[in-house]
Amino acid sequence: MSQTGWPLLPLLLLLVPAPAAQAEALQLGSTQMFKLVLSQPTGSSRAEYDLVVPLRETATQRYFVDAKVFAEEQPWIGAPAGSGFFQGFGQSTRLGVRTLIEAGNGFWGASAGYDSLWQQGAYFQQAGLALEYNRQAYQLVLTAGVPFSAPSVQQVANVPLSSVNMQISLPTGANGLAVQPRVYLVGSDSTGTAVGGQLQFTYSFARTWSATLASNYDALTGVGGSLTVQVLLPQRTGAGLAARINPDLVNGFAAAVGNNGSRVIRLDNQPAASGN
């Protein structure tokens, strides 16, 4: 290269675009959820524990596994004579992804997985899936559960039900209080199909504590009701995430996938599983 070409080299380097810096990953970490569902005396109260572990986090996405275990007690009224305290045990596993949209003011999610229930000598299984769309003012969730095996014993009175559920969460105008109407379709070959509805009111305490009062009706089990108390740990405020996610959405973005009528297998003699 001639000596006259050397002074042009720094100028040419200035014209070459620098590589774009990648946005920092969200790094929200794991989430735990504790939930207690208190049913009417003829139903089964339930205790649940969820552990949500991120598999991969980027600046706008979170891939995760959500593992739930739960235990159900015998009904206070109508339990078989001589039965123990516990009626059944179960688990639910979901693989999911959530993606931030609208500059962090909303997100959508999808998840799918496997659920099982051990109850009174029988073992039930199903596949489940969920779609969710969240904004600061509302949440829309679609879920489904489909049993894929017969009970593990030949003579059993309980029949697992397929279900499709749609729920929307809306603010009421009162601070911390949301209303969540749900419509659902449940049934099996032996029971037929029934349309049902559920109305929930959820009051949130300090972002991660909440209590939900629910009442539902369908032709298979009639009227049901429950009170649900749940807590998420840790409590996140959005600090350190800059403007990438709305602080009011950060706990929901990292939370467990809700039941919404599908993750806890429903049998034909049980009311709809409540709680978010």
Q: What's the burial of 20, exposed, middle or buried (CB within 10 Å: 0-12/13-18/19+)?
A: exposed
Q: Can you tell me whether residue 14 is helix, strand or coil?
A: helix
Spatial separation of the C-alpha atoms in residues 162 and 189, rounded to whole Å = 10
pLDDT at 22: 61
pLDDT at 235: 79
Spatial separation of the C-alpha atoms in residues 207 and 255, rounded to whole Å = 12
pLDDT tens sequence for the chain (276 residues): 445 555 554 544 455 554 445 678 888 999 999 999 998 888 889 999 999 999 999 999 999 999 999 999 988 877 666 677 888 999 999 999 999 999 899 999 999 999 999 987 889 999 999 999 999 889 999 999 999 865 554 445 688 999 999 999 999 999 999 999 999 999 998 889 999 999 999 999 877 899 999 999 999 888 889 999 999 998 787 666 655 788 889 989 999 998 777 899 998 877 776 656
pLDDT at 11: 47
Domain ranges of the chain: 26-254
Spatial separation of the C-alpha atoms in residues 34 and 264, rounded to whole Å = 15
Residue pair 92/101 in contact (Cβ under 8 Å)? The answer is no
Spatial separation of the C-alpha atoms in residues 130 and 223, rounded to whole Å = 25
| Superfamily of structural domain 26-254 | Inverse autotransporter, beta-domain (2.40.160.160)
Residue pair 47/71 in contact (Cβ under 8 Å)? The answer is yes
User: How far is CA 250 from each of CA 104, 136, 182, rounded to the nearest angstrom?
Assistant: 9, 10, 24
Q: What's the burial of 273, exposed, middle or buried (CB within 10 Å: 0-12/13-18/19+)?
A: buried
Q: pLDDT, tens digit, for every residue of 172-185?
A: 999 999 999 999 99
Spatial separation of the C-alpha atoms in residues 107 and 26, rounded to whole Å = 14
Q: Can you tell me whether residue 12 is helix, strand or coil?
A: helix
User: How far is CA 216 from each of CA 89, 117, 133, 138, 171, rounded to the nearest angstrom?
Assistant: 23, 22, 23, 21, 20
